[in-house]
Homo-oligomer: A and B are copies of this chain.
Amino acid sequence: MSQKLFVSAQEVAERAGVSRSAVSRTFTSGASVSPKTRQKVLDAADALGYHVNHLARGLMRNESGIVCLIVSEIGTPYRSALIRALTQQLQNTGKIAMLINTDRSDGSVDLALRQAIRYRADASIILSGLPDKSITDLCLKNGQRIVLINRDDDREGPLRINLDDEDAAARIATAFVRAGCRRLAFANSQAGTPSLMARERGFVAAARGLGLEVVVERFGHTGYESGRAVAQQLLTRKERPDAIFCATDLLACGLMDAARHQFSISVPDQLCVAGFDDIEQASWSSYQLTTFAQPVDIIARAAVSWLSQETEAQPENRSVRLHADLVWRSSIRGG
């Protein structure tokens, strides 16, 4: 029963004894209102419990203040950390986040973008999947900005934020070798997303540069259970690896747990392990995982500040490459 509708600017105007434009101006930053009227309006608004209707405002201004976050597997540590950083950052700049959950199905991201269009979101930030080109173009044509995080797409138009995955992978190869490891392996999921593949590529290439071949194993999705499954594959080999780089921390946690509790392999004494993301669990004393930190706050800041840029200041500054710091813990010998 939404009988008594929300109070409108009209009603505030009447109570304050001014025109409704005066009310509007009072709540528009940078509009010219005399302090006196302003105060009258503010008092009336407060008494009546008035709040600007952003639906109507968005309609007029052609700017809703809404930013869509398009994500799958929201419950995952890395994803939820990024969502936290993004929502926080958006709120700081007066915008608001809409959260759309996607799944692995094909048109899932496209559907989400359609929803973003319906609500006339000012922008969409895509953390998972990749939309169809046609729908992307539709968004861009209508002035909706798009940010791709760790999607490594080469399309023009969206802002692309990526990490130096390959470099990071190369650094960890060196660290393994320095720790005395010679039988290197890479544990990946079958997801095959660009950043995951970049890590694999970088690791294999760097190892080869050091004269070592890498055993690569891919299994399932990017989670703890997959880590256990990959461990099953890697740790039962005749030539058992003595160092495994996991594409994500979640994989690494699963792999470490299987190594220790199922195969009674000691980490790091008999097996060195590294991960990627620096999720909270990586720092827990059961894991103490050496890993690369996703700079979630910097990513969020980069995304949101680009959204706030009035004009297209830089013509081709649409690709941001960020550095992933190596967080050294004790899942690799030495240090």
Which A residues fall within an 8 A CB radius of B? 1-6, 49, 51-56, 58-59, 62-64, 66, 69, 73-77, 79-81, 83-84, 87-88, 91, 96-101, 114-115, 117-120, 138, 141-144, 224, 253-254, 257-258, 260-262, 280-281, 284-287, 311-312
Whether A99 contacts B100 by the Cβ 8 Å rule is: no
A254 contacts which chain B residues (CB < 8 A)?
284
Nearest first, the 5 closest Cβ-Cβ pairs linking A and B are: A2-B143, A80-B80, A74-B84, A286-B286, A257-B285
In whole angstroms, what is the CA distance A246 to B123 when docked?
Answer: 42
Number of copies: 2
CB distance from A310 to the nearest CB of B (A): 10
Closest to A85 in B: B75
A-B contact pairs, 25 of them (CB 8 A): A2-B142, A5-B62, A5-B142, A6-B120, A49-B141, A51-B117, A51-B118, A53-B120, A55-B64, A56-B59, A59-B59, A73-B84, A74-B80, A74-B84, A75-B80, A75-B84, A77-B77, A79-B80, A83-B99, A84-B101, A88-B101, A96-B115, A97-B100, A253-B284, A258-B285
The one of B55, B81, B143 in contact with A58, judged by C-beta atoms closer than 8 angstroms, is B55
